[in-house]
Structure formats: structure tokens, C-alpha cells
Amino acid sequence: MYAALWRVLPGPVWLRVIEALVLAALVVAVLFQWVFPAVADLVPFNDNTVG
């Protein structure tokens, strides 16, 4: 999968590295901004069992 993404990115190697880093940062930002808060109520990690 990573090889396919690498082949799709345009430009020379140095530009592909920058584009891949920007894409990875964008994915992480989307996860933290929208995905993780949306599923936080469904994940039982915040349930305390020690009283």
C-alpha cells in the first residue's frame, strides 16, 4: 500500500518525502480533531472501576 502511495505522489524524491509527511500530519490532525472525539463515548476506557 505504501509503495502504491509513493508511486502516485508527483515530483522528485525530496518533494515526495515532503508530500508524504504533510499527508501523514493531515491524517493525524483529522483523527485528533474529528474521529477520536466522535468515538470517545463508545470506548469504555474512561470507566473507573476503583471507587
pLDDT tens-digit profile of 6-40?
999 999 999 999 999 999 999 999 999 999 999 98
Residue 47 has pLDDT above 90, yes or no: no
Bigger pLDDT: 16 or 50? 16
Q: What is the pLDDT of residue 51?
A: 63
The per-type count for the chain, helices as H runs and strands as E runs, is 3, 0
Cα–Cα distance for residue pair 51/49, rounded to 1 Å: 6
